[in-house]
Each structure stands twice: as structure tokens, then as C-alpha cells.
Amino acid sequence: MDLRQLQYLVAVAEEGSVRGAARRLYMAQPPLSQALLRLERELGVALFTRSSRGVVLTDAGRELVGRSREIISQVEDAKTAMQVRERDTGPDLRIGAVAGPLSAGELTRPILDAFRTQHPEITVKLRDTSFADQVDLVTSGVIDLALVRCPIEHDDVDVVPIAAEPRALFVPSTHELAAEQHLSVDDITDYPMLALDAPDSFASFWQLDPERGRSLVDQAIPPVSTVQGIQLALETAQVVVTGCAAMARLAPSPLIRAIELPDASPSIIGVAYRRGNTRPEIRAFLDTALAAAAENIALLPNASSV
């Protein structure tokens, strides 16, 4: 039994379903279900009663959830205490990640792991950012840099591209296009897109405005600024939007289909930082990100280094 299993257990208990917990944890359902089954086998007790409607904690499950919360809290307290203790021993680097691990897809962990290994003297402080605030957090100095999905266009921000990944069209599973395996941009010229609450250049790119020569969004649905917002909109309305192909793998939903868009311009993954910021830690991260992306590019299906 390890800490990760306990975190999985608590997530399922709080979300009320394996699906909801998988979405919260940015992982696929099968590995999560398998981890919970291994935990049950190891402990020799059933933690859940499973049915087509979801999962319900058994008495043993409820007891273990309570104990797990205490353990997780104690671990977090210990981490915080050590971070406070070592706060002044070296520099820190505040890194934003738009949509969390989707910021660089399967390259996110290798990049961060490589940087921590190569620069143990630098404390990495991660922050999840939304489509709407990713640029403002950099320009205001709240974060030092961010792993982003381009385009990011701002006079005070520089972006270093590190990889390119195909885009996909995301549609509700009940949509008339849901059975398609791949489409061209011309095939979807007249389909309104889900509007994004983001800087104009970013929103325009993902809404396919340049390829379609106009902006056509569904005015009945409020703009969204997070991956969770995209999923909720597509799960409850007949609207479509493009996204990075990694979203289908790292944030899957049985109510959403991903369709290949081979002629759409790719999604560029980059590192954004405030222009003129000459901190050596930023240069170090850029060098590491470029090298780690090139070395691990095979982890990101159909992607290429740039």
C-alpha cells in the first residue's frame, strides 16, 4: 500500500465515481480501477460495492478513506515544513502549466523531472493556469514562466517552441460527426465552435478562425477557460471545438469523441516568459525543456521537435 493508492481512494470517494476521479487526477480510468483492485487484494477487503450506477464505499472503505485523509494530510504537512525549512537555501522557479499536464502532454513530466534532477538547488513551484490567465500571470510576475500551448502573442512575452503536436476535433458522442475517424477543415466550415475565454490570438487559433476565414462560435454557450469547461460544454450541448490530441489521452470522457484533423495547423508547445527577464534559472529551464522534449518526443504520439 502506497500514498498514491490512498490518494486514488480518496479521489474516488470524493467524486463518487471512478470516472470522476480519473478526470480529476488527469488519468485514464483503467489504470485507476486496476490500482484500486490491487489495493483491495493487498488488504484482503472490499473497499467498494460496484454497480452500473457507480461505486459505493463499504464500511471498510469508509474507515480507510478516513485514515487515508489523515495520512495524506500528515505527508503534506511534512512537505510544507521541509519547504519552509529550506526556503532560503536556494532560488525558486515559479512555473505555470496551462491545463495542468496537458500543457506539454506526455512531455510534461520528463521536462520537470529532468529540470529537478539537473538543478536540485532550484525549488520548483508549479501552478495550474487557465486559458484566460496564462499570459497575465507571466507579465505580472506571479509566475516566472509557463508551459503553454501557442499561439501566445504579447509585446512583453517571449515564447520558445519546444514541440509540435497534431490537433483533433472534439465533439459530443451524440453529434452527427461522432462516427468520423478523420475530417478536413473544409468538412467543418459551417459548424459553430465552442468559444474560449482567452486572449484573442489563442481563442482564434483553437476555434479555427484563420483556417475558416471567419469567427463562428456558438453564441448560446458561455465561453470557457479550462479543459473541464470544455468537457462540460461538450457533454451537455451539441457544440464542437479543436484541442490538442493529448486531451483525448490524458483527459478522456466517454461522452466525447476526438476526430483527427490532419490538415489543421499543429498545436505548438512552448515555454513563455516575460521579455527581458534574464534570471539564469529561466535560461536553465529553457535549455532543459528543449533537450528533454527532443529526447522524449516519442512519448507524444505523432509529434515532432521544433
- pLDDT for 87 equals 54
Residue pLDDT, tens place only, 269-284: 999 999 999 999 999 9
Closest CA to 244 of 225, 224, 265, 229: 265
Fold (CATH) for 167-260? D-Maltodextrin-Binding Protein; domain 2 (3.40.190)
CATH T-level topology, domain 90-160+268-297: D-Maltodextrin-Binding Protein; domain 2 (3.40.190)
CA 21 to CA 11: how far, in whole Å? 5
Distance CA 4, CA 239 (A): 36
Residue 216: per-residue pLDDT? 96
Q: What whole-number distance in Å separates Cα of residue 137 and Cα of residue 264?
A: 29
Domain assignments of the chain as residue spans, ordered by start? 3-85, 90-160+268-297, 167-260
Model pLDDT for residues 208-245, shown as the tens digit of each residue: 999 999 999 999 999 999 999 999 999 999 999 999 99
The DSSP H or E segment spanning 294 is helix 280-295
Per CATH, which fold does 3-85 belong to? Arc Repressor Mutant, subunit A (1.10.10)
Residues whose CB falls within 8 Å of the CB of residue 223, separated by 6 or more in sequence, listed in order: 194, 195, 196, 197, 198, 203, 217
- The CA distance from 168 to 207, in Å, is 12
90-160+268-297 shares its CATH topology with 167-260 = yes
What pLDDT, on the 0 to 100 scale, is given for residue 42? 92
- pLDDT beneath 50: ranges in the chain: none
